[in-house]
């Protein structure tokens, strides 16, 4: 079983920067 598919990538902090959001998107695309 591939547990990576069960992990949710989220960034829920209201003070998140555009750079942090872009990084999360890039990581999600990689996996």
1-31 per-position pLDDT tens digit: 676 666 667 788 899 999 998 998 898 888 7
Its domain, for residue 18, covers 1-30
pLDDT value for 7: 66
pTM listed for this prediction = 0.59
Contacts of 5-11 with CB under 8 Å at 24 or more apart are: none
List phi, psi (to 5°) of 13. -70, 130
> Which tokens belong to 9?
């990538």
**Tally of structural domains, the chain:** 1
pLDDT value for 19: 94
């Amino acid at each position: 079983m591939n547990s990576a598919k069960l992990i949710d990538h989220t960034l829920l902090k209201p003070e998140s920067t555009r750079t942090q959001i872009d990084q999360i998107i890039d990581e999600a695309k990689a996996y």
